[in-house]
Amino acid sequence: MTRALITGVTGQDGSYLAELLLAQGYEVHGVTRDAGEVVTPGVIAHELDLSTDSAIGGLITELQPREIYNLAALSSVFQSWQNPTLTARLNGAVVAEMLAAVKTIHDQGDVDIRFVQASSAEIFGTPTDSPQHEGTPVRPTSPYGAAKAYAHGLVGAYRTAGVAASSLILYNHESPRRPETFVTRKITAAAARISRGLQDTLELGNMDARRDWGWAPDYADALVRAAQHPDADDFVIATGISHSVRDFVAAAFERAGVEDWADRVTVADSLLRTGDAALQRGDASKAQQILGWTPTVEFDEIVAAMVDHDLALLT
Ligand code: GDP
């Protein structure tokens, strides 16, 4: 039985990844912040608050997992401006602690651990290329992006030092498990409530921002493919197609059966972001060639699945 360790196991990606690994017969261990968090059944939970506790290296040494997936992070770009120090710790320093432990085990010749980092399109900031690829300059424009960029650089450094570490540059990936701090779920939940007369209006920030939105389970699949591939490397994981927030709003309200949505949606300056990229679009051809990865769910299907889920929650 292959043993895997997932940080961030209770999040959207962690839950899909845990399900995927359990279905493949893995022994799955997961790090949780506290006992109150809901963990996928079958996962062996280890309670550890990564924001204050430096015990993750010890846990890795104790478990000696074959694969480590680092998904723990402060996951909101917006919140990273409110808490840059916590962002630096969770999205940056914790990765250093983990990689240091992996390298010690590697240098002792004990176990060959495969490390997979959930990186982000935010490392490119306002990108110089479109679509972005693995060679696009890393120039973050938010504390979130800067901390992810540090971690991305660390993964490369440890790979050069012999550790089998991969960094997957994930573009936005959504599902009904997204919390409403992300614009997609905020929109689908609001569209569902508005369609039932439970809410009047929806306040958003930049509706012209274009993002490359994919289906979260596809991105969990990419993480596993990277871990299982013999050669560690960096990979962009994206659909290659971008849509605006406005497109997402239109598709969600249409699905929810609300025609007069234009009167219902307002823009609040307080929700606009500093350093928000106007356009993100990723080129995942390297992942396709080397990992055999392709996205399987299109934009309209993602919107439909999320709206339908939110409508069902109201019945
Ligand atoms: P993130 O970029 O990975 O943090 O994902 P989000 O879903 O939070 O944001 C995606 C895009 O939607 C960004 O360009 C935001 O500026 C934009 N956006 C516009 N209005 C909102 C809003 O009300 N909430 C959030 N979270 N994002 C918004």
Residue 241 has pLDDT above 80, yes or no: yes
DSSP tag of 93 = I
pLDDT of residue 111: 82
Residue 149, helix vs strand vs coil? helix
Which amino acid residue places its CA nearest to atom 9 of ligand 1? 183
Which amino acid residue places its CA nearest to atom 20 of ligand 1? 205
Domain annotation for the chain: domains and CATH numbers: 3-173+216-237 (3.40.50.720), 175-211+241-280+297-313 (3.90.25.10)
Look-up of token digits 């290296």: 57
Catalytic residue set: 120, 122, 144
> What average pLDDT score do residues 286-304 get?
98
Contact 147, 93 (CB under 8 A): no
Residue 35 has pLDDT above 90, yes or no: no
- Ligand 1: which atom is nearest the Cα of residue 209? 14
Cα of 222 vs its chain's centroid, Å? 12
> What average pLDDT score do residues 213-239 get?
98
Residue 311 has pLDDT above 80, yes or no: yes
Residue 217 has pLDDT above 80, yes or no: yes
Mean pLDDT computed over every residue of the chain: 96
pLDDT of residue 256: 98
Residue 110 has pLDDT above 90, yes or no: no
Per-residue pLDDT tens digits for 253-278: 999 999 999 999 999 999 999 889 99
Å from CA of 182 to ligand 1 middle: 6
Contact 304, 255 (CB under 8 A): yes
pLDDT of residue 132: 98
